[in-house]
Amino acid sequence: MTNEKETSSLKETLLNFRAVISLYPRTAALVWKASPYTFLGCLITAIFEGLVPPVQVWLLKVIIDHAVTGIEVNQAGGAVDLSRIIWLLGFYLGVMAISAALRALNTLFRDIVARRVEYYIQQLILKKTATLDYAFFEDPKFHNMLTNAAQDAGWRPANVVWHLVAILRDALTLIAMILILTRLHVLAAVAIGVVPIVSFAFMRWHVKRRFLAHMAYTTMRRIVEYFQNLVTSRESIKEIRIFGLFDHLYSRYTQYKEEYIKIHEKMTVSETRVDWLLSTFSNVVGVGVWAYIIIRALYGHITIGDITLFFQAVNNCQQRFDGILRSVVQGYENTLFITNLFAFLDLHPQNVEGALKRSKKPLLTLSNKSSKKDIEFRNVSFKYPGQDRYVLRNVTFRIRHGETMALVGRNGAGKTTLVKLLARFYDPTEGEILMNGHNLVEYDLIQLRQQMSIVFQDFLRYQLTIRDNITFGEIKHSDNTKRMEQAAENSGARYLIQRLPKQFDTVLGRTLEDGVDLSGGEWQKLGLARAFFRDAQILILDEPTAALDPLAEYELFERFARLTQNKTSIIISHRFSTVRMADRIIVLEDGQCLEQGSHEELLARDGMYAKLFTTQAKHYYDEDV
């Protein structure tokens, strides 16, 4: 039974090894696409580098034999011919110069390729993320995959190719040196070849062990990086200083970091021990072959030049065997890590819980001019992937084209989730969302989202220019200065921009040189300007006035009422001064649609909305008193 298990385990290991080695061609193709001509340059220079050492050792043997002959002639009283030795030395010097030039060129090509490969892979990763559904980004396993894919993604594929090139170079040298050693004895070549076979078995075991440890502790590495970023980022430093959290966070950082370091230290000690044993074994074999060479020389079977030739051949064989072995093992190790990159690049959009549904019918098209956009939620229920609790339950309502609707309710009632579903970050777990009578799944996703302009509660604050912060709303019109200025005017941001020395070209954020920071309300106005810059038929504002003072809020919604004529708008807000201007209000409670109607209708009903409105009104009244 034990033998069967061992055989099965060995077979599985061999299959895994073959699977990893099968990625070599794909890796080489990736490097070729990143930098074809410099990669070819690396290959050519490496081939010539492999041919240089045999020429050098053979020239050295010939030079020494001529020198010995010259000594014997001189001792016998004859005339020594130095011209041939001088020519040989000159030829040897030329070979050394060529070797140095090849190494320099190879280093140059490798540096260029490495940078281009890193850039190319970063492009592949970024482009891949753009194809994945929002559900991926709320999955911790995906973030582990992304971390592992990006980890050393630039240099590992390039290194795999360098190892392949190095194997080719060393193999050329090795073949020539083995042929030289067979002139001494076939068993000499066999003895030298035993060492790398034994070394390979041990080194491969260590590589696999290191990789499995790396994979197992990916989450720990992410936690370490999180704590490190937390105590150094501008966004968190204020709160950390106020609450005196640095020592506590630093302690947790060191706890995880030290545990991670200890794991690697333990593996390093084990690998060092094995390396020492293998090195000792290699030295014993090498010295044994040297002893045989000396014995052959003592009995006059080989010349002094042959001694030099065979000694150098032994050294070169050991070095090249060791080089090939390490190139194979390190290439194998790098390819193990590259499996993370390819696994990420091969992710299918459906390979996550909560992935968007794909329509089997031809997709419908949408444009701003095509038709009015009536929206209907029909018995929509939803729970987030991996969760048992429903965030929304049987929600049904309709928004007519040109209508302004407000969503109100306590935190966690499901308001923002409704927006995520409408924007198709997720599809409903049950029920359906319709636009003009068609399920959202039937529309082209890009065109669907182009109909919407959304200001999220956690909108992005781009550490770029004000121009960028506004025109990112519709990047294809980024050169439309008049439209940008109008968007700034509509959001109330125009006055603050005029006060800045570079106006729309002002760089924002204190982390950049000459950067200007803004208050929360000023940032929010820019976020609104970005939404207004897009000519969308559906405008969605999630807590759009949370950072605005009452006067700015009033001015904004006066403009908002004009701007949204003949457009559909959805507002999520806790401020009832904002909510009451909506044509219709929907009250959510525990994920269900509790009430809906106009402000006056809901007050007259004296239900949840009336209670919330009265509570907030009393709060403001008491504050005024």
Whether 10 maps to a domain, the answer reads: no
Kindly state whether residues 71 and 120 are assigned to the same domain.
Answer: yes
Q: Give the contacts of 532 (CB within 8 A, at least 6 positions apart).
A: 453, 473, 486, 487, 490, 491, 563
Residue 119, pLDDT score: 82
> Maximum CA pair distance of the chain?
131
Does any domain span residue 361? no
CB 585 within 8 A of CB 405: yes
Query: Which residues 6+ apart lie within 8 Å of 98 measured at CB?
Result: 48, 52
AA letter at 171: A
Residue 455 has what DSSP assignment? E
Q: Per-residue pLDDT tens for 413-439? A: 788 888 888 888 888 888 999 888 888
Q: Tell me: do 465 and 376 sit in the same domain.
A: no
Q: Which of 535, 560, 585 is the last residue of a domain?
A: 535
Q: Which CATH number characterizes residue 154's domain?
A: 1.20.1560.10
* Pick from 560, 554, 608, 617: nearest CA to 585: 608
> Model's pTM, two decimal places?
0.66
Q: Which helix (H) or strand (E) holds 594?
A: strand 592-597
Are 543 and 428 in the same domain?
Answer: yes
Find out whether 438 and 364 touch, Cβ atoms under 8 Å: yes
Answer whether 128's CB lies under 8 Å from 345's CB.
yes
Last residue of a domain, one of 520, 535, 550: 535
Containing structural domain, residue 432: 369-451+536-625
Domain assignment of residue 8, yes or no: no
Burial of 369 (0-12, 13-18, 19+ CB in 10 A): exposed
Instruction: Give the Cα separation of 574 and 588 in Å (integer).
Output: 12
Do 326 and 430 lie in one domain? The reply is no
Q: Domain check: are 131 and 254 in the same one? A: yes
* DSSP-assigned beta bridge partners for residue 453: 539
Residues 225 and 114 both lie in one domain: yes
User: What CATH number is associated with residue 546?
Assistant: 3.40.50.300
492 and 502 share a domain?
Answer: yes
Residue holding tokens 């014997």?
Answer: 72
Among 263-272, 444-453, 554-563, name the one with the lowest average pLDDT: 554-563
Question: In this predicted model, what pLDDT tens digit does every residue of 204-246 receive, in sequence order?
Answer: 666 666 666 666 666 677 777 777 777 776 666 656 665 666 7
Residue 269 shares a structural domain with residue 386: no
Rounded mean pLDDT, 592-606:
86
- 517, 535, 553: which is the final residue of a domain? 535
Residues 331 and 385 in one domain: no
- Residues 362-408: pLDDT tens digits? 677 776 655 567 888 999 999 888 788 888 889 888 888 888 888 88
- Number of structural domains (the chain) is 3
Burial (0-12, 13-18, 19+ Cβ within 10 Å), 530: buried
393 is written with which tokens?
């339950």
